[in-house]
Amino acid sequence: MTLPPPASPEPRSDDKGTRHRAPVSDHSAVGSLASAWLLPWTTCRKATFLSQYDAPLFFVGIDWAAAEHAVCVLDRDGRKTTAFTIDHTAAGFTKLAARLNKLGPSEQVPVAIERPDGRLVDVLLEAGHPVLPVKPNAIKAWREAEVLSGAKSDPGDAHVIADYLRVRFHRLRPAAPLSGHTKALRAVVRTRGDLVEARVAATNQLAALLDAHWPGAKAIFANIESAIALAFLTAYPTAASAAGLTEKWLAEFCAQQGYTGRKPAAVLLARLRSAPAGTLDPVVCEGIRDAVLAQVGVLAALNTAIKNLDRSTSQRMDTHPDGAIFGSFPRAGTINAGQILAEWGDARQVFDHPDAIAALAGITPVTKASGKQRSVSFRWACNKRLRVAITTFAANSRFASPWAADIYDRARASGKDHPHATRILARAWVRVMWRCWQNGTPYDPALHGGARQRVEPQVAA
């Protein structure tokens, strides 16, 4: 039996209403968000018929959980071959590999799972099984259509995933393992991003505490999470402890801390005294001191950890084969370039068109058309880390690239707000970045036709 080829992708519009882009779905178009790194089933760029020999012998569905995973195996006709559970342990992974090995050649036993990464996925990829990430929302819709009673269980979900894989495997794309360099970089930059979010939350908590009991300590320095502000709060955690602070003492404190804010001690002291008076009750001050010092300790630890990860990111970028490419773009910097590369990845065979990256990053809109109704809306389903990284880079690049500034300015002149104009610029940059990435060459404005055309008339003028 010969399976039909994947359906041809439908034409789609973008910000200009003309270019095609890849959808956020598990269909075999230019790209897929089921996983950031997906490979075609065959070595051909365009999907082809799958022969009976190449077609899977069995279809495996795994319902992933924190401690125990349900596994279901179906044959080509949809009959259940076996079903079992494994623990999320080394012994459990070994058991799974042994059970699947008995079914036949690993390349003909694909596995569907609702996540694109993790140690379980790594073990399956290392064993040679095609791993096809599926979206939870797609499985939910499939279950609701197939299980009319609404019953739900882990073994039942594994069966639904396996059946979804059996029916739609020719529309799915197996996950490609990331290189060790990219895995290391991704672990570092994602952890750093989480810690930055934690620092923002801790800063807001400290600010609320100071607003309630000692507003002056919040007003004296520009950023309360800065090293000088945390040192000040360590020395003077309450309003009572700073009651006798003089201009001379404050000047000596700033000198000891290496203060570089260029504000004299008299100005800083005036900020402190002009703010609403803080709590002076001795009993209350004891509690405030403990609370402030606890928050200061948290922020100090976060600042140290983030600095260490900054250094690690720089090291990872220096050793990554594509680090020089992503670091060569104007105003990319080391951290921002590392964030883009970590989410973009290094599997060049995955993205054979820049629109696939644009869809993955959520910088292309979603068009819905039915009858006479047509709407274009913001793309919510995407890799949000990649969207933040690319739009941050795009917003900064316009200050160093006349070409980027021109695209942004024309978008704003046409009535787009700042976020929309930034996404338009980001999509333009994606095309340039994709070409440099595919060619393996750093960005050179002299070779960038659009940038060269923008600069040459200015030089001639």
Please state the rounded mean pLDDT for residues 61-67. Answer: 92
Q: Tokens 């040679």 correspond to what residue?
A: 128
Fold match between domain 58-171 and domain 182-318:
no
The confidence band for 453, taking pLDDT boundaries of 50, 70 and 90, is low
Q: Which residues pair with 73 in a beta bridge?
A: 60, 82
User: Rounded to whole angstroms, what are the CA distances from 385 to 275, 390, 426?
Assistant: 39, 9, 14
Residue 297 falls in which region: left (phi positive, over 0), alpha (psi -120 to 50) or beta: alpha
Q: What is the pLDDT of residue 389?
A: 97
Contacts 24+ apart (CB under 8 A), 372-380: 376/13, 379/24
- The pair of structure tokens assigned to 357 is 């990256």
Give residues with Cβ within 8 angstroms of 197, minimum separation 6: none
**Ranges of H-type helices in 323-401:** 323-326, 334-344, 354-360, 384-397
Q: Tokens 């099984």 correspond to what residue?
A: 129
CA–CA dist 8, 32 (Å, integer):
14
Give 28-85 as a DSSP string. SSS--SS-SSB--SSSSSS--PPPTTTS-SEEEEEE--SSEEEEEEEETTS-EEEEEE
Q: What is the pTM of this model?
A: 0.78
Sign of CA dihedral 171, 177, 178, 183: positive
Q: Which residues pair with 61 in a beta bridge?
A: 72, 112
Alpha carbons within 13 A on the beta-carbon side of 460 = 6
Strand locations in 232-391 (E): 366-370, 373-377
Q: What is the pLDDT of residue 55?
A: 78
443 vs 9: which has the higher pLDDT: 443
List the Cα angle 147/150/151 in 5-degree steps.
90
Question: Of the given ranges (4-13, 141-150, 165-174, 251-260), which has the lowest mean pLDDT?
Answer: 4-13
Sign of CA dihedral 42, 44, 46, 49: negative
Helix (H, G, I), strand (E, B) or coil at 245: coil
Report domain extents, the chain: 58-171, 182-318, 323-460
- The most confident of 26-35, 143-152, 277-286, by mean pLDDT: 277-286
The confidence band for 324, taking pLDDT boundaries of 50, 70 and 90, is very high
Give residues with Cβ within 8 angstroms of 389, minimum separation 6: 336, 339, 340, 343
Asked if the model's pLDDT at residue 25 lies above 70, the reply is: no
Sign of CA dihedral 38, 135, 426, 16: positive
Q: What is the pLDDT of residue 32?
A: 37
Asked if the model's pLDDT at residue 39 lies above 50, the reply is: no
Share of the chain above pLDDT 70, in %: 86
**Is the CB of residue 110 less than 8 Å from the CB of residue 61?**
no
Q: Which residues pair with 369 in a beta bridge?
A: 374
Asked if the model's pLDDT at residue 170 lies above 90, the reply is: no
Question: Of the given ranges (113-117, 171-175, 320-324, 436-440), which has the lowest mean pLDDT?
Answer: 171-175
The confidence band for 260, taking pLDDT boundaries of 50, 70 and 90, is confident
| Average pLDDT taken over every residue of the chain | 86
Asked if the model's pLDDT at residue 451 lies above 80, the reply is: no
CA–CA dist 442, 439 (Å, integer):
9
CA–CA dist 266, 46 (Å, integer):
71
**Is the CB of residue 59 less than 8 Å from the CB of residue 162?**
yes
Domain 58-171 architecture: 2-Layer Sandwich (3.30)
182-318 is classed CATH 3.90.920:
no
Asked if the model's pLDDT at residue 12 lies above 70, the reply is: no
Q: Which of 29, 34, 66 is nearest to 137 (CA)?
A: 34
The pair phi, psi for residue 373, each rounded to 5°, is -90, 135
User: Rounded to whole angstroms, what are the CA distances from 56 to 2, 105, 161, 314?
Assistant: 12, 9, 15, 43
Give residues with Cβ within 8 angstroms of 120, minimum separation 6: 62, 64, 69, 88, 93, 113
